[in-house]
Structure 1
Amino acid sequence: MEHIVIIGNGISGVTAARHIRKLSDHKITIVSAESDYFFSRTALMYIYMGHMTFENTKPYEDWFWKKNRIDLKKGFVNLIDTDTKTLHFENKESLKYDKLIIAAGSKPNKFGWPGQDLNGVQGLYSKQDLENLEVYAPDNNTCKRAVIVGGGLIGIELAEMLHSRNIPVTFLVRESSFWNGVLPESDSAMINREIERNGIDLRLSTNLKEIVSDENDKVKSVIIEETGEEIACDFVGLTAGVSPNINFLKNSTIETHKGVLVNRFLETNISDVFAIGDCAEQREAIGNRRPIEAVWYTGRMMGETIAQSVCGNRIPYKPGHWFNSAKFFDIEFQTYGWVHGKKAKPEYEEQYHWKHQDDNKCITIAYHKDNNEFLGINTFGIRMRHEVFDKWLTEKRSVDFVLSHLKEANFDPEFYTHHEADILKTCNNFYQTA
């Protein structure tokens, strides 16, 4: 019986532990410095907004771990000795392993801004971040204004959270349009308008220069790079992306770059050491996917894959077609396949865009201009069926087929019945002018 040690109790590590237990009688230990038990990180915003309690975010009862013989150890690993297969903890304790799975997740990016470590300045990633939000931004009496730096998904989640407590928010986005490195121009522009409709002070093409401290080492304002404007605030959310949480590996023999380098089997350069989830970096990217994917469902898939491998059934990681989902205030977003933003769009990709007159629903479809092959779709405010698009992408269907069968993918057939004529009319007009 081997001892499998997993560093990290997020979705990747916990999925690996559960599936290893299903497949084997190995001894399993999950190590985490963040929380005693696994919780749904994506639900942090709903705790702050009052929709859930922290207990509601734990998918498993506390007795689950003992019943399934999964040991939990709270502690911070500061050194891994791969020669002796030993973890050394900050409190001087140690732990032996036979196989090690690194699933340490991400940490918020910081770019050396003056004042970035002041009280009242933080990201939104951990349970501790949520607890600090209640200290520095519990209401609009304590927090007269918040400033958010960074235009990604975590940034817009934090804006919605603070807005729910009537805290005025200024949102600094360095790009010329929200998330336009990912979204096509028309999609991004609609989200700009949705952010502003919710009363957020959206500042595009704007960079942070400095975070200013009061006499108690707490934030009191920020300085804008371009204009020198000073904005008084009581809280600063740093949401300029995340990066792999791998600082504890710097003195180990495990090869890293931006993340822990792995092959298609999620194996590192060291025998019996693996990496999964946000902290893993593919040595060679898979198709159009990025080498590092900080996405919930890919972490789960990696956990399932590595469980097979450590239990004797060595299989490669095959994530399939790209998909993702998010929410921009009241607009739900889904993407399947590849629909590139303007800067990343390959020469062969054409895009068809339809927007509803209420300005909170739209569809963007990408296709290959030479053969009309369907490449991907973005939908906003319209719920679609994942399995349908996954099938069409595998079958390499044409964009004409997708448009004529789109109602099959819609959760709400009535919606498509009402808008099919307008969608197809817009499409035909697009073809005639393309």
Structure 2
Amino acid sequence: MEHIVIIGNGIAGVTTARHIRKLSNKKITLISAESEYFFSRTALMYVYMGHMKFEHTQPYENWFWKKNNIDLVHGYVDQVNPEEKVVTLSDSTSISYDKLVIATGSKPNKFGWPGQDLDGVQGLYSKQDLELLEQNAPNNKVCKRAVIVGGGLIGIELAEMLRTRNIPVTFLVRESSFWNGILPSGESQMINEHIMEHHIDLRLNASLQEIKPDENGRVKSVVIAETGEEIVCNLVGLTAGVTPNIDFLKDSDIELGRGVKVNRFLETNVKDIYAIGDCAEQHEAIGNRRPIEAVWYTGRMMGETLAQTLCGNPTEYRPGHWFNSAKFLDIEYQTYGWVFPEKTKMDNEMHFHWRHPHKKLCITIAFDQSTQIFLGINTFGIRMRHEIFDRWLTEKRSIDHVMAHMADANFDPEFYRTFESEIVSKFNVQFGKNIQTQKKSLKRIFHIA
């Protein structure tokens, strides 16, 4: 019986195992050093915040794996030997395979800062990171101030977590505005305001120079590179992005870049070895996507795709239109298609931006100036329907069609209708249009069959 070994039990690895089992009776071994059982990584913050227990983050009961004949091994892979088709664990255990799937995810970036390995300095990615955070920042008596380095989604999650325990937070963001490498300026500015309204000390244009130790080898302070200011703190959260977790492969024959290099079938250069999820790097990016996509849903899609190939149905990875979602404190964010920030915006890309005058609600819509084709949308605080935007992008609908039928895509039609005339009027004035919104029957608005 063919034996498939999967290294990593995150969403990519587990999805692969589950779908292989749906399609075949192949022997499956799932190896993980992080946790014995799969858990939802995005839920870690809610454990610290007291909204759930860790066991509530496990989507499957512990008996699920045995019932589905998926063997779990709790251990760290030290080495992969492609010639002998063997992986070796840190305890010297060897496991042979017929086909190997590398799904080892990411690890927090470290950029060689002095003091980056001190006690009290950590990332927020793994179960172990959550456990370490409970030690480093159990309350505001032990942790009198935290400094977070890096203005991404993990950084803002960590800030929110710490503030629920009334721990003061200073947030160092080297850019001139939060996440402005991803967001257009209007949205980025709104998030700046929102962060500060939550009593987080946001420092823009501020990067880390060094982390200083106390006499016991724990973090005592950080120094800001641009100003030389020293900030006393008990915790430093390193959240300046992640990098593929592939160090254990450096002595193998597997081709590596920043990640494990793969083709459209998620195959490496070595026969019978594949890579998926955060650690996989496409030789050539797919459309406007990045070669490495550290995103939950792409890991799941890669797992589903690879399972088909491993079960005799070779299938290319085709992720479709880009979409993503996140939360900035209590603001929900969704994006569909492509809405680039000003510095990377395409020549023909035009933006329409609307923001509520008082609430933290806004939309930015991108379209092609020449063809008038809808390119993408960002929404903050407004929930939209994925299937409708996905269809509009596939059909290459015009911006006029999207503006006229926006109520169809909104989860809360009453909310949209409240501001519909204001939004469309602003669009018409800005672009010299005369869009008339379509009146919808209740049956169409609520998608009643």
Same fold by TM-score greater than 0.5: yes
Counterpart position of 1:112: 112
Counterpart position of 1:230: 230
Deviations 1:162-209 (A, max 9, x none): 011110000000000000000000010000000001000000010100
Counterpart position of 1:205: 205
The amino acid of 2:310's aligned partner reads: V
The amino acid of 1:40's aligned partner reads: S
Cα distance, 1:380 vs. partner? Answer: 0.2
Counterpart position of 1:286: 286
Cα distance, 1:23 vs. partner? Answer: 0.5
The amino acid of 2:222's aligned partner reads: V
CA distance in 2: counterparts of 1:298 and 1:392, whole angstroms: 21
Counterpart position of 2:242: 242
| Alignment partner of 1:306 is 2:334 | no
Segments of structure 1 that go 5 or more residues without pairing to the other structure are none
Answer whether contact 1:333 1:381 (CA < 8 A) is retained.
Answer: yes
Counterpart position of 1:17: 17
Cα distance, 1:371 vs. partner? Answer: 1.0
Alignment of 1:7-406 (within 5 A): 7-406=7-406
4+ long deviations beyond 4 Å: none
Aligned residue pairs, count: 433
Deviations 1:99-140 (A, max 9, x none): 000000000000000000011101100000000110011111
What SS does the corresponding residue of 2:313 show, helix, strand or coil? coil
CA distance in 2: counterparts of 1:25 and 1:231, whole angstroms: 58
Cα distance, 1:91 vs. partner? Answer: 1.1
Answer whether contact 1:108 1:125 (CA < 8 A) is retained.
Answer: yes
CA distance in 2: counterparts of 1:359 and 1:370, whole angstroms: 33
Deviations 1:59-109 (A, max 9, x none): 000000000000000111111000000001111111000000000000000
CA distance in 2: counterparts of 1:388 and 1:317, whole angstroms: 22
What SS does the corresponding residue of 1:60 show, helix, strand or coil? coil
CA distance in 2: counterparts of 1:304 and 1:354, whole angstroms: 38
The amino acid of 1:428's aligned partner reads: N
Answer whether contact 1:207 1:226 (CA < 8 A) is retained.
Answer: yes
What SS does the corresponding residue of 1:324 show, helix, strand or coil? strand
Answer whether contact 1:348 1:368 (CA < 8 A) is retained.
Answer: yes
The amino acid of 2:229's aligned partner reads: E
Cα distance, 1:359 vs. partner? Answer: 3.7
What SS does the corresponding residue of 1:343 show, helix, strand or coil? helix
CA distance in 2: counterparts of 1:77 and 1:36, whole angstroms: 14
Answer whether contact 1:190 1:359 (CA < 8 A) is retained.
Answer: no
What SS does the corresponding residue of 2:19 show, helix, strand or coil? helix
Segments of structure 2 that go 5 or more residues without pairing to the other structure are 434-449
Cα distance, 1:432 vs. partner? Answer: 3.9
Q: Percent identity?
A: 69
CA distance in 2: counterparts of 1:275 and 1:358, whole angstroms: 47
The amino acid of 2:346's aligned partner reads: P
Cα distance, 1:429 vs. partner? Answer: 2.1
Cα distance, 1:417 vs. partner? Answer: 1.1
The amino acid of 2:132's aligned partner reads: N
CA distance in 2: counterparts of 1:237 and 1:343, whole angstroms: 28
What SS does the corresponding residue of 2:344 show, helix, strand or coil? coil
CA distance in 1: counterparts of 2:375 and 2:203, whole angstroms: 33
CA distance in 2: counterparts of 1:109 and 1:283, whole angstroms: 22
The TM-score normalised by the length of structure 1 is: 0.99
Cα distance, 1:428 vs. partner? Answer: 1.5
What SS does the corresponding residue of 2:408 show, helix, strand or coil? helix
The amino acid of 2:319's aligned partner reads: P
Counterpart position of 1:4: 4
Cα distance, 1:346 vs. partner? Answer: 1.1
Deviations 1:193-252 (A, max 9, x none): 000010000000101000010111110100000111000000000000001000000000
CA distance in 1: counterparts of 2:87 and 2:19, whole angstroms: 23
The amino acid of 1:319's aligned partner reads: P
Cα distance, 1:298 vs. partner? Answer: 0.3
Indicate the RMSD between aligned Cα atoms, in angstroms.
0.8
CA distance in 2: counterparts of 1:30 and 1:399, whole angstroms: 47
What SS does the corresponding residue of 1:47 show, helix, strand or coil? helix
The TM-score normalised by the length of structure 2 is: 0.96
